[in-house]
Structure 1
Amino acid sequence: MPEITAIYLRQRKYIFFLLSIYVLGWGFTTYKTIFLGLILGTSLSLFNLWLLARRTDKFGEAVAKGEKVRSLGMMSRMATAVLSVMLALEYPDKLHLYSVILGLMTSYIVIMIDFFLQAINSRN
């Protein structure tokens, strides 16, 4: 499934762009806890996207070979979300909880925006 890899690489580029904006916001504004929460959440969101892309690729290979299909790793992605929220609750003076949660949703937002952009581009 090379198209999964291409989609992942494109979305990873968008997330790195957002992370660079968050780092600039952390460095040059007084909202350090908010931007640090966004950085943590988005970084773990990128890790979850990588896990999802890798497992989807393995899933496609297993289906093509007729082998038994394993899960797509929902528990590991949920564990990273729980870990990031626990960190935000443990260090509220460093990490803004809502920013961490918003950062965790970043990859899903990027996936939706990328889907709509590709749908528009394929029509033209």
Structure 2
Amino acid sequence: MTEYTQSFRRYMQFTLYLLAIFVMGWGITSYKAIFLGLILGTILSIYNLFNMFRKVDRLGEATVKGTKARSLGLLTRQAVAGLAVLIALRYPEYFNLLGVVSGLMTTYLIILIDSISKIRFK
């Protein structure tokens, strides 16, 4: 297993733990719209992380073969974020917009924190 695959699994693990905390917060607290927004944003953030992992993996294979690779999927990730915002704007009684945007950033924050901790503790 490559270091990149291990990092991806670690990111997924931390994101799923955070998603479980958001689900518990939705079930326990009275802040249903905020936690539902966090859940929606985090689920779509997981999709973006998986999509980015596939694209980078294909880029690595293309580099090894010496062929050209397509983009890393910036437009796809932006479209998913736009879809999440549209859902939050269409159903504001269920989804808090700030929660959705925060949920979309969860995997990126996890990647940032993991990278900083790797650099600091090496």
Fold in common (TM above 0.5): yes
Aligned to 1:45: 45
What is the deviation of 1:119?
1.6
Aligned to 2:8: 8
Aligned to 1:88: 88
Distance in 1 of aligned mates of 2:121 and 2:64 = 29
Q: Which runs of 4+ in 1 moved over 2 A?
A: none
Distance in 2 of aligned mates of 1:104 and 1:72 = 18
Distance in 2 of aligned mates of 1:69 and 1:80 = 22
Distance in 2 of aligned mates of 1:65 and 1:121 = 35
Aligned to 2:56: 56
What is the deviation of 1:81?
0.3
Q: Which runs of 5+ in 1 are unaligned?
A: none
Q: Is residue 2:119 matched to residue 1:119?
A: yes
Aligned to 1:110: 110
Q: What is the one-letter code of the residue matched to 2:3?
A: E
Distance in 2 of aligned mates of 1:56 and 1:117 = 22
Q: Is residue 2:78 matched to residue 1:72?
A: no
Distance in 2 of aligned mates of 1:57 and 1:3 = 12
Q: Give the alignment's TM-score, normalised by structure 2.
A: 0.96
Distance in 2 of aligned mates of 1:114 and 1:54 = 20
Q: State the Cα RMSD in Å.
A: 1.1
Distance in 2 of aligned mates of 1:89 and 1:100 = 10
Q: Which runs of 5+ in 2 are unaligned?
A: none
- How many residue pairs get aligned? The number is 122
